Each structure stands twice: as C-alpha cells, then as structure tokens.
Structure 1
Amino acid sequence: MPIRVILQGISQASLLVDNDEKYVHCGRGVLVYVAFLKPDKDTGGITDEDVARAVHTLLETNIFTHFNPEKMVARAQSLAECPKVDIMIVPQASLGGKINKKGHSVQFHHLVSKDIGEALYERFCHHFRVARGINEEVVDANGVSLNAAEEGLCTTESNKPEKWVKYDGRVVSGTFGNRQGLFIESDGPFTHTFDL
C-alpha cells in the first residue's frame, strides 16, 4: 500500500506554507496528512490512477460524524456527502518512518524520492480540488483563493485568523518540502490511519 494517510477531524486549522510568515486557514472539516511510500517491487510505481483512486476512496468512505455542528448525525458521513466542509492537506514524510532493527533510530528508506513525492503530492491535491469542483485558476499553489487576504483566509506573522473561519468547501494544502507549522482546534481525536 504505497499511499499512507492520517485523517483528523478539525474545527479549524492554520498552516504555515512558506517557512516564514504566510499561514493559510480553513474551517470545520478534515486534516489529511499524506506520505508516498515505495511500492513493492512486484507492483511498480505509484501512478496518477493510484492517486486518483486514493482520493476517490477518501471522499466516498463514510468516516466522520462531526461535520455539521448544527446537527450531529448518528451515522458516519463521507466527505462527498458534506461538500461544504474544508479539507487541509499536509505532506508528512514522517508517516514513512520505520524503527531500525536495533531500535535506536528511525529510518525513512520506505519513502519515494523527494522529486517523485512532490509530483505525487501535487497530483493528490489536484485530484481533491477537481473532485470538490474547485477552479484551480482562481487559487494559488496552496489552494487559497487569490482574494484570500481580503477574506481573512491567508495571514502573515500570525497562526490564527482574526475571526472564526467558516467552512466553505475549501481544499488548502501545505508546501511540499517546507516546515509545516500547524495549529489546529478539534472537538476530539477523530483520527483515522489508512494505507491506500
């Protein structure tokens, strides 16, 4: 299973995207940590179809019950059923770590190379945005509206927006290879790990 993800339910989140001062924000929804692992020798590399299938699975699987704070539901819902919740995607190479045989350190030999990982990450984010109907011509590389500064969805030198962020179907993402300074608020540990 070459695509490893952790999904965490969030009330809102802020993510550092430029290693310096630019934060992007999202409201209620899901935080998706993702890493791309080297596939078995018999299966070949990760294809764009594999990435698209993984995104489809994440969107269609009934996972969370907390998406709508106005009316909690008893049954799990999929992201496809809740198109207005936000999705924040964070590249997370540490998901590919493995403790060495002596148990003294962590090794990352199972990750794809950085250039392949970056290309797969960009495709992963792209497939999420396309599936959610986001016009990629009106968002930047992190999925933030080009008018985000006026909307309060992109700030500098602050990890928190000035007001509570209302969810609105955004798909924002971190920058591959950068430090991912992350601040989240959550109603609970609604967290799931999957290998896709």
Structure 2
Amino acid sequence: MSSAKIVFQCCMSAKLLVEEGGSETTINKGLIAYVAFLKDCSDEALHKIAETICTVRLISDSNDRLRSVIDSPCDLLIVPQFCLSGKLKGKCFQYHTAVPKVAAESLYSRLVKSCDTFLRSSATWLSKSCKLSYGTFGIRQILSIETNGPFTHVVEL
C-alpha cells in the first residue's frame, strides 16, 4: 500500500505566500514537491519519502543531464497538498485514504526536518547556499511559479 503521493515540478523560480498579506518564501531554480500523506505512512516510509524528494533526478544541469536537488545543487520547496490524497468517485472527490489532519501535520513537520537533515549532510549543497523552503500545513497558500516547460511528475511511494 502507498504511504504518500508526491507531485514534483521543476521551476526557474517560485514564490509561496502564506495567506493573503502573510509571510512569503521564495526559491530560485529548483524543485517543488507537493506532498500528501496516506493512511499507511510510517516512520520508515517518511525517511524514504525525504530521500526520494532530495535525490530524484529531475533538474537539468548546463549539459542537459538530469540531476537531483542534492547533486545539482538547487533550491527545494515542499508544499503540503492534502488534495492529492483524493480519489474521484462519480463527480466528487473522496479522501478516505488520507491521514487524519493532526497526524498529517506531524508527518509533514517531520518530513521537512528529515529533508533538511538530508540536505545539510551534503557539503556540495551547503557550499552553494541553496535553500530549503516549505509551506505551512492546513492553511490556504498562494503559489506563483516560473517554469521553462511542462515538467511535472506524479509519484506514489
């Protein structure tokens, strides 16, 4: 059974505004990871999710080779996206496979910390002054993205 759904999107830059008039975070070239946790998500799965986010090879380098966030190195933006856990039934979405809100918020917080630890273990990533940014769980957020083409992937782990 799956533990999470993730949508990966490469970007030239992105800006995440937490509620209208709230705080703002920005990244330069990098990867956006939208994450929803499913009922079977465990601590072991959480480690695998963090490792996948940091090591998936989706970002093109100057030689058009695909690199990961940690290898490229580049920025990473993690955005909680509960709606990814929905399944279409008829004309409506149902969210029976989603982790309850309190547990999902805890998983999200631990995922961000795990990604931070993973990235900070890379001297290359640290030496390039790359940035890990993340959204806030459970509230509306406004996301602006600049991309250089449709390059979006959906993964279930």
Structure 2 residues without counterparts, runs of 5 or longer: 122-127
**Match for residue 65 of structure 2?**
75
Structure 1 range deviating more: 175-184 or 13-22: 13-22
SS of 2:130 mapped into structure 1: coil
Q: Does 1:47 align with 2:42?
A: yes
Paired positions, count: 150
Is the contact made by 2:50 and 2:115 (CA closer than 8 Å) also made in structure 1? yes
**Match for residue 51 of structure 2?**
56
SS of 1:132 mapped into structure 2: helix
Runs of 4 or more consecutive aligned structure 1 residues displaced over 4 Å after TM superposition:
none
Is the contact made by 1:9 and 1:186 (CA closer than 8 Å) also made in structure 2? yes
Q: What is the rounded CA distance, in whole Å, between the counterparts of 1:14 and 1:119 in structure 2?
A: 24
**Match for residue 99 of structure 2?**
112
**Match for residue 98 of structure 1?**
87
**Match for residue 190 of structure 1?**
151
Structure 1 residues without counterparts, runs of 5 or longer: 40-45, 135-166
Q: What is the rounded CA distance, in whole Å, between the counterparts of 1:126 and 1:18 in structure 2?
A: 23
Q: Does 1:169 align with 2:156?
A: no
Is the contact made by 1:33 and 1:92 (CA closer than 8 Å) also made in structure 2? yes
1:4-38 residue CA offsets vs partner (Å, 9 max, x unmatched):
10010011111112554211111110011000011
Q: What is the rounded CA distance, in whole Å, between the counterparts of 1:51 and 1:93 in structure 2?
A: 16
1:124-166 residue CA offsets vs partner (Å, 9 max, x unmatched):
11111111118xxxxxxxxxxxxxxxxxxxxxxxxxxxxxxxx
Q: TM-score, normalised by structure 1?
A: 0.71
Q: What is the rounded CA distance, in whole Å, between the counterparts of 2:84 and 2:100 in structure 1?
A: 14
Q: TM-score, normalised by structure 2?
A: 0.87
AA at the equivalent of 1:107: Q
Q: What is the rounded CA distance, in whole Å, between the counterparts of 2:71 and 2:119 in structure 1?
A: 11
Superposed displacement of residue 172, structure 1: 0.5
For residues 12-31 of structure 1, the aligned pairs below 5 Å read: 12-18=13-19, 20-31=21-32
